[in-house]
Chain A
C-alpha cells in the first residue's frame, strides 16, 4: 500500500507542469558570431540584448525625454549634476542588491562621479559634461570574475558563437519568457531562416529587403523612427572650416535624400545650393563596401559636387574606425547617432569617448555642457563636421503572435521586455 501511494505521488509530481511549460521563446536571427553580453565587450549582434540584461540609470521616452531607468526618481541640478533615487529593491540577476558602489564603478569609465547624499545619489561630471546622455547610455552592472550581472528583466542563460539564450529573471505571464539569438555566418542566412520559420524576429536594414516578407502572414513588419542619420562626414584635418561650411551649403540635402531613398527617408531641414562655390581641391569620397544606401548617397554627393568629386573609394567596415581616427579622408559616408537630441553630447563633445571623428568645438562643448541641444546643433552647423542627409526608419519583422511589438525609441529592441504575446 505504501509503495502504491509513493508511486502515485511520483506520478502526480511527474505530471506537474515544469517551469518552462508554455513559455514563449522568441528566436532572433542575426549575423554571428555572438559574443558575451556586457558593457565593455566587442560589438556584435549580442548588443541588442544589452538593454534587457542591464538597466541604465535613465531610459528614453518616445519623445526623446529622459525617464526612469534604474533610477526611480531623478532631479537635474544642472546639465552636469543629477540626484537620483535608485529603484527600491533593485537587484542584479544573481540576487544581490544594486549598491552605490556598483553605480560608481559602472559610470567610472565615462568619468562621472557618484556620491551618496541624504536624498539619494549625486551623479556629476567633474568636467562639466552633460550627464543625461551618458546616464541613458551607460549600463549599470556588477562584474564578478569575467561575468557581468545586470538588473534588467533578462539574464543570460547560455552562450556559444551561434546561440545566445536569455531568460526572464522574474516570470511575467503573457510576455516573452525567453529570447534565443541565432547567429548565422552570412546576412543571407538570417533572412532565409526567418522566412523558413526557424526564427521569429529579424532586424531589416534596407526597406527593399521587406519585399521578401510581403504576404508572409506569420510575420508582421514594424517600423519606428531612426536614431542614426545618413550623413556625409568631412575630414577635419584635410578640410578647413570654410571648405566644410561651403560643402554643407552646397550639398542639396533634399535632392540627395530623394535620389537615394525616394520618399522613404525624411530629409534634414535646410540643405544647400549646388551652385555654391567650394574653396577646395577635388574631393575623394569614401564609403563602406556593400552598404547600398551609403553607396548611393556617395554617388548622389558626387553628382552634386560635379567636377569637384573624385573617385569613390570602397572600404570594408573594419577599416572605418582606423580611417576616422587617422582622418585620412575628404568625405566619408556615415550613420551618426542623432536622436534624441541630447545624444549630440555623446557624439560631438570634445571629451566624449564616442566622438569618433575627433571633432572639437568650444561653442558646441559649451552648449552641450549647458544642456542646450538646439544651441549645440546651431554651433555644429556653423562649424560643420558632417552634413546630415536624412534619418532612415528602423525596420524589423516580428512573429505575429507578439501583440504590441515596436521598435524602441533609443535601443533598437529595448521595448521587447514589455511586448505581450498571444497566450
Chain B
C-alpha cells in the first residue's frame, strides 16, 4: 500500500512538473508571440507610412508641377485681349490645366472660376495665389480651380481648372499586398481618391467614410492612428502622410490579417515545432519516468519481501523459541509440566493459525460481483457476539451501539468480518482488563460508518499517517508482522470505502470503516 501511494505521489509530482514546464513554455511562447506581433505591426506600419509619404510626395510634386506650369503661362500674359484668346488654347497643349482663363475686375460673374470663393477672387486679383476645394466637373473629372497672378498685367490673374484625375491614378495605383490600398482626403476629411473600388462611390458622392474623421484630425496635426477599423469594415494597419499645401492627407492601409499573415504563419510553424518538441520531451520524460518507477517498484518489492522476511523470522523465531522451551519441558518427562506444555502448545497453535489466516486474507481476491446486501447493524452485532468469548478472556466488555435506522451496504461478508474482527481483536488487545470496546454503527451523507473504539493507551500521532501501511505494526511483541491493518484497508477500499483512525495517547483509539450506503433490498 505504501508503494502504491509513493508511486501515485511520484506520478502526481511528475504531472505537476510537466504541467508546470508546459505552462512556463506556453507563457514564454505567448510572450514571444506578443512581442513578435508588436514588432511585425511596427515594421508593417513603418512600411505603410513610407508608402504614404511617397504617395503624398508624388501628389505634392504633381500639384507643384501644375502650379509651376500655370505660373509659366501667367508669366507670358501681356495684353488682355490677346491673352484671353491664347489662354483658351493652353488646354490643348497642357490638358491637365483644363480650361485656362484670364481673371480681371471686369470678368463677368458667370465666367468666374465656379468653385472659387468671392474672397479668393478678390485675393487673386490682389496678386495672391488661391485655390478652390476639389470638386467634380459635369464630366466627372476631379478638378480644382487655381488662380495665379498674371505676370505683366497687375490686377489680373490666370485661372485654370486643374485636372486631378492624376491624383486618382496616383492613389489607385498603390496596391499593398493582396488588398491593401491608399486613400486621399482633404482637410475636412472628404474622400478625394480611393484605391479601394467600393469606396470610390464616396469620392463622387462626398459621403464620409470611417477614415474621414481620422483624416481631418491628422490634417489638423493630431497624432495619426496606426490601427483602426477601416472603411471596408475590417481592422487595418495604416501609415499616414500629410501634404502641406493643400492640407490633404494620404493614408495607406492594409488589413491587419493580411499585414501580419507572414508573421502569423511563421508563428504557427514555430508553435507547431515547439509543441512537437514539448510533446516529444513529455513522451520521453514519461517513458523514462515509467522505467524509473518500474525499477523503484521492483526495489520496493524486494524491500517489502525483506520486511516480511524480517517480521516472519522475528515472529517465527519467537514462536520457535517457545516451542523449543516447550519441547525441553516435554523431554523432561515430568507430569507436572504437562499443563504448561498443553497451554503453550494451544497458545502457539492459535498464534500460528492467526498468522496463517492473515496471510490467507492477503491472498484472497476481492470480487465485487460476489457482493451481497448487508445490514450493518446486524453485522456489527454478529461480529460483536463472535468476539465476546475472546474479550471476556481478556477481561474486556464489548458494547454494540447500532444505528437508529439500519444502514445497508454491499460487500463480501467474510472479508468485511475479517476486517472488523481484526479491528476488534486489536482493540481488545489494546484495552486494559476491565475496559470496554464499543462497536458503533451510524449513517450520514450517503455513507455508513462502523467505528471500533477502545480505551487503551492510544497511538502516537506520528505513527497515525502510516498506520495502514503494510508491516508498520505498532506492536512489536507477539505474532504481529503488521499485516492486519493494511489488510483491513485493502478490503475496505476494495469495497469502495475508506478507513480512518483517531487516537490520543492515554485515552484510546477509534478505527472507522466507511462504506457507501446501499438501498435496503426489497
Contact = CB atoms under 8 A, between A and B. Distances in A.
Interface in B189-218: 195, 197-198, 200-205
Interface string A128-160: 000000000000000000000000000000000
Contacts, number: 75
A211 B205 contact: no
A337 B172 CA distance: 36
Given A299-B88, A302-B88, A312-B88, A208 B204 contact: no
A191 B140 CA distance: 9
A302 B89 contact: yes
A303 B89 contact: yes
A29 B294 CA distance: 82
A197 B200 contact: no
Contacts of B165: 208, 211
Given A299-B88, A302-B88, A192 B137 contact: no
B89 A188 contact: no
Interface string A283-295: 0000000111001
A217 B197 contact: yes
B342 interface: no
A216 interface: yes
Could you say which of B89, B91, B140, B205 has the most chain A C-beta atoms within 10 Å of its C-beta?
A: B140
A296 interface: yes
Contact of B140 (A187, A193, A299, A303): A187
Q: What size tier do the contact residues of chain A reach? A: 20 to 34
Contacts of B195: 215
Given A292-B139, A302-B88, 4 more contacts: A208-B139, A212-B140, A290-B138, A299-B92
Contact of A259 (B92, B141, B203): B92
Contacts of A211: 165, 168-169, 172
Given A187-B140, A217-B197, A290-B138, A300 B92 contact: yes
B136 interface: yes
Interface in A149-205: 187-189, 191-193, 195-197, 205
B138 A187 contact: yes
A214 interface: yes
Contacts of B198: 195-197
B172 A214 contact: yes
Could you say which of A191, A192, A209, A296 has the most chain B C-beta atoms within 10 Å of its C-beta?
A: A192
- Do most interface residues of chain B lie in helix, strand or loop, or is the interface mixed? helix
Given A188-B136, A209-B140, A212-B168, A296 B200 contact: no
A262 to B, nearest CB: 9
Contacts of A214: 172
Interface string B455-493: 000000000000000000000000000000000000000
Nearest to A194: B201
Nearest to B137: A290
9 contacts: A188-B136, A191-B204, A195-B204, A196-B198, A213-B197, A215-B175, A216-B200, A259-B92, A290-B138
A309 to B, nearest CB: 9
Could you say which of B138, B139, B203 has the most chain A C-beta atoms within 10 Å of its C-beta?
A: B139
A196 B137 CA distance: 20
B253 to A, nearest CB: 15
Contact of A296 (B91, B138, B172, B197): B91
B141 A292 contact: yes
Interface in B96-138: 99, 136-138
A209 B204 CA distance: 12
Could you say which of B89, B92, B137, B198 has the most chain A C-beta atoms within 10 Å of its C-beta?
A: B92
B91 A192 contact: no
Interface string A213-247: 11111100000000000000000000000000000
Contacts of B137: 290, 292
A351 interface: no
A299 B91 contact: yes
A218 B140 CA distance: 21
